[in-house]
Structure 1
């Protein structure tokens, strides 16, 4: 994991100055949005449409090829009919600019993009009906499928071999397990890591490769009313964790995050799986690995959050949102066991698919 890097903290006047200088826009209103390690500012300019100024942390700002790829992916998905944000060009035609500022760690450089604003509210604020979970699974699979067609000279920037959030890198958590010393959670995490090594890694050669969004969580999926007392997905945001990976990883990540706010987390897997398989049926190795991969993602989230709090104690409340509920859910899933959980997921997915 990276050592302490600087989370941007641009003032209202700095944001207004960037908007004027780079985009010739006058900020009528600016409002900070929550973020893990970047700075997202909602902007209403005098000249028209709402937008989001995204200022990347100093570490990610050192990798412009990766950010260029993320920006290209968003545009590619948008062109293919998926609700992704796109970057707006500056007055000089650039899609990103490098700004220098002191946000508490000395002068550092931060990459800045102006993104379109997507309507809707985060899915975390809406009761997760089976239909909405089905649509989320379907959207995740559709997105990864569409990205298979994408070509770009800098696509290798997405390889990110040592990326701590990549589900292929679960063993990178081991040096951080001491952060759980004295916590009963440590035993669960160690057991899951052991299961991962013995049951998931040997099957990886049978997983199908793709490009992962890598962070389809309940704060990164936007929904709006569909006119029939339900909701439809109106946006997928935050492509900062994108990397080359496997289809089954995306599914596991989506199931794990959608459990967090659900009153009965175990039932979430079925409808998401049904939606996913309406686009991309799983093979046997993928099916067999799903349970351990979902638990592995919980472990990544919990351990990385503990580490992040040691680096950003002032941002503890936001960082630990997922953790507090996650500890309870991962312990429950581990106690119930693979066979029981799989039965719940695969049987309800089969029933839902029949009804469709």
Structure 2
């Protein structure tokens, strides 16, 4: 059993990450599809960190994603995610996102009661084709296009409002300081000190200025597994998925999240992030204040990836390998970043954000 101190530290994790996914049986998913959508097909379970997800394949080969949400998710949040998808589709139809499939009654989502008596939201969307960016070759033009796509996404979401937009979620960088107590889980002293240093930078550089930063509803999870590319042409972006971490927060944090993930395994992580930021700059500029904070914001996201996933692995040890599967990559990114002069890195990132150039060849 975890110590009292560890239990208190774990309170930094929101309910959405402390409730494991409760699987709904495939035959029940197929029944939901028939009764609520009029679709007859075969349901195939897909891994979900919080939700019970199914690929629904109809007899004619059409595919849809049926998402049966975590019982801990507030109904207002379910509504926000659905309405955001509809809003982006209307604002910029060219952004390759999942499309809402309405129920026979015209609902964008609905509530169900599962076999354990828990009430859960349900949403069906189109199944976006493609392979995750993480699984495919990476290139400068690919990263550039992803950066530009994030800029378009932010512009499409500028006018979006919802009653649940200011909800608190663990992955919102605005609340990263609450994760400091989680760092005690890291037994390696050098690793713990590196994360503590990143936390100190967040607390001293970003936290005092959060209210001054431009904010809106953001995607907040523009990572390589949520970006789909065409298998036959990985430089072509075919889809953006998973609006589940959406929140009203500084735009800078959305950019930092995207840049942090675009490092991947690149030998020069700064160059990889610059590719992304140059694409983003073609759609939206960052202010001078945002440029000053882009580097510590990127490092804060890296800190969050390690701390949150390590604690989830502690809460759900049966899924430890899945939760921490990306941790070695993040530590390697830290090592490569720390081997470069920090001032030079900050200058290169800022220059990329200010550069208006032709896209990479």
State the TM-score, normalized to the length of structure 1. Answer: 0.89
2:125 equivalent among 112, 115, 127: 115
Other-structure match for 1:210 = 216
Structure 1 outlier segments of 4+, above 6 Å: 349-352
Residue 261 of structure 1: how far off its partner (Å): 4.5
Query: Is 1:36–1:318's contact at 8 Å kept on the other side of the alignment?
Result: no
Query: Is 2:97–2:241's contact at 8 Å kept on the other side of the alignment?
Result: yes
Other-structure match for 2:191 = 185
Indicate how the Cα distance of structure 1 residues 260 and 33 shifts in structure 2: closer, same or farther if over 3 A, else same.
farther
> What is the distance in 2 between the residues matched to 1:268 and 1:68?
35
> What is the distance in 1 between the residues matched to 2:218 and 2:144?
19
341-350 or 322-331, larger mean C-alpha shift:
341-350
State the TM-score, normalized to the length of structure 2. Answer: 0.88
Q: Deviations over 1:119-148 (max 9, x none)?
A: 111111222211110111111111111211
Residue 263 of structure 1: how far off its partner (Å): 5.0
2:140 equivalent among 130, 147, 151: 130
Residue 225 of structure 1: how far off its partner (Å): 6.2
Contiguous gaps of at least 5 residues in structure 1: none
Query: Is 2:279–2:359's contact at 8 Å kept on the other side of the alignment?
Result: no
2:346 equivalent among 322, 338, 342: 342
Other-structure match for 1:222 = 228
How many residues are matched?
A: 344
Q: C-alpha root-mean-square deviation of aligned residues, in Å?
A: 2.2
2:163 equivalent among 153, 156, 167: 156
Other-structure match for 1:74 = 85
Query: Is 1:25–1:46's contact at 8 Å kept on the other side of the alignment?
Result: no
Other-structure match for 2:275 = 271
> What is the distance in 1 between the residues matched to 2:265 and 2:335?
16
Q: Deviations over 1:145-167 (max 9, x none)?
A: 121123x5xx131112x322111
256-265 or 272-281, larger mean C-alpha shift:
256-265
3-state SS in 2 of match to 1:215: coil
Query: Is 1:26–1:47's contact at 8 Å kept on the other side of the alignment?
Result: no
Other-structure match for 1:41 = 54
Indicate how the Cα distance of structure 1 residues 300 and 78 shifts in structure 2: closer, same or farther if over 3 A, else same.
same
Query: Is 2:136–2:231's contact at 8 Å kept on the other side of the alignment?
Result: no
Contiguous gaps of at least 5 residues in structure 2: 1-12
3-state SS in 2 of match to 1:43: strand
- Matches of residues 237-248 of structure 1 in structure 2 within 5 Å? 237-248=241-252
3-state SS in 1 of match to 2:293: helix
Query: Is 1:141–1:276's contact at 8 Å kept on the other side of the alignment?
Result: yes
